[in-house]
Structure 1
Amino acid sequence: MEFLKKHLAWLTDQGLCLFVSFLTGVRPKAAGSLAFNPEKKVYYANHGSHGDFVLVWISLPRRWRMRVRPVAGADYWLTNRLKRFIIRRVFNALLIPRAGGNPQAVTEQMTEALQNGDSLIIFPEGTRNTDDDVVLLPFKSGIYHLAAANPDVCFVPMWIN
């Protein structure tokens, strides 16, 4: 059963990447054009939809995706079996409780992932900006605390348009 889930996750990843690339034109960058390795980076971007992390995900070289984990709200992604499968098995997301009331625990959770060699995709606005104006919402303080706790980590800004 585990073998089947692993292959289904791989097929889902490939299908999503092809589909999103077809719709948006986003393609992976060559590994040489980004900093030297996929480990211990935080990719952060503006946030307009639930699909934003997929755009960041597919813009990275395919072999890097195994080390990159989107940070996502557990309350949204754990609501049904399909979402759980996609977020856990396809994207290996770091799920956080958004209503937990303990932002320090969330920073510690992200720091642990980074210290284990993973990279993260985060959206420091904290929520989706559904405004028609192309403007960033104010960043939540979590990105500052994450950077302060991880001075050896490279923070990579991205813009989704």
Structure 2
Amino acid sequence: MLETLVAYSVIAGARAVTGMRSLWLGTTPIARQRIYYANHASHGDFVLLWASLPPALRKHARPVAGADYWGKGTLRRFLIDKVFKGVLIDRQRTDPSRNPLEPMFEALSAGDSLILFPEGTRNLDDEVKLLPFKSGIYHLSKAHPQVELVPVWIDNLKRVMPKGKVLPLPLLCTVSFGAPLTVGEDESKEAFLDRLSQALLELAPKEEI
């Protein structure tokens, strides 16, 4: 099918441009429902993380993306729906009565894994390694405490695709997977988000911290 051919092309292109390496440092790529959460510095982040997963895991890992961007245009809609099988969220809150997390709840209830970026937006500040996490990942974890959260640090992609540049620069990118976490039964939102943030920072190259 067309979407399969496009998916293979995206994966091959990501590997060719970035020299992508996947480092499973704190876990192994096993078939288990998970939320892969990562730092967010480039538009290509979710593509690289998605492409770095083994085929069996990639099949059920759905990137979370903004409907305001990916829902526009035939090509974008085809890519996010058919190739990436993404979960679109309404970042603009066009329907105030609808919980913007609902599509993610539905995906988890269906047994899918998620790829998401808890910072909520791209971090373009080289002096700040992580922006404060949004609370959505906490609510997802409380609703589905059996789902593991795996921190993933994406290194170098911002330099491969610098802001304002049309062509990528050939640099090695590393996708590092850390040890899974789960939410504590009585853990506060603040403590949980801080623990997730610290687990992610521990995967960053030391010179970046």
Q: TM-score, normalised by structure 1?
A: 0.86
Structure 2 residue corresponding to 1:44, chosen from 37, 44, 52: 37
Paired positions, count: 152
> Would you say 1:96 and 2:89 are equivalent positions?
yes
- The match for 1:57 is 50
Q: Which has the larger radius of gyration?
A: 2
Q: Whole-Å Cα distance in 1 between the matches of residues 111 and 137 of structure 2?
A: 18
Amino acid at match of 1:130: L
* 1:141 equivalent among 125, 130, 135: 135
- Match for residue 3 of structure 1? none
**Structure 1 pair 66/29, CA: closer, same or farther in 2 (3 Å)?**
farther
Q: Which structure 2 residue ranges, 5 or more long, are not aligned?
A: 156-209
**CA separation of 1:24 and 1:35: change in aligned 2, threshold 3 A:** closer
Question: What value does the CA root-mean-square deviation take over the aligned residues?
Answer: 2.0
1:29 CA drift (Å): 6.7
Give the 3-state SS of the residue equivalent to 1:69 in structure 2. Answer: strand
**1:120 is the counterpart of 2:132:** no
Q: Identity over the aligned pairs, expressed in percent?
A: 51
3-state SS of 1:34 partner: coil
Which structure shows the bigger proportion of residues in helix conformation? 1
Deviation at 1:45, TM superposition (A): 0.3
Distance 2:133 2:120 in 1: 7
Shift of 1:28: 5.6
SS at match of 2:132: coil
Q: Could you tell me which residue of structure 1 aligns to residue 152 of structure 2?
A: 158
SS in 2 for 1:105: coil
Q: Counterpart of 2:10?
A: 16
Unaligned runs of 5+ in 1: 1-6
Q: CA deviation at 1:134?
A: 5.3
Contact 1:27/1:58 (<8 A) preserved: no
Note if contact 1:70-1:120 (Cα within 8 Å) is conserved in structure 2: yes
Structure 2 distance, partners of 1:131, 1:104, is: 32
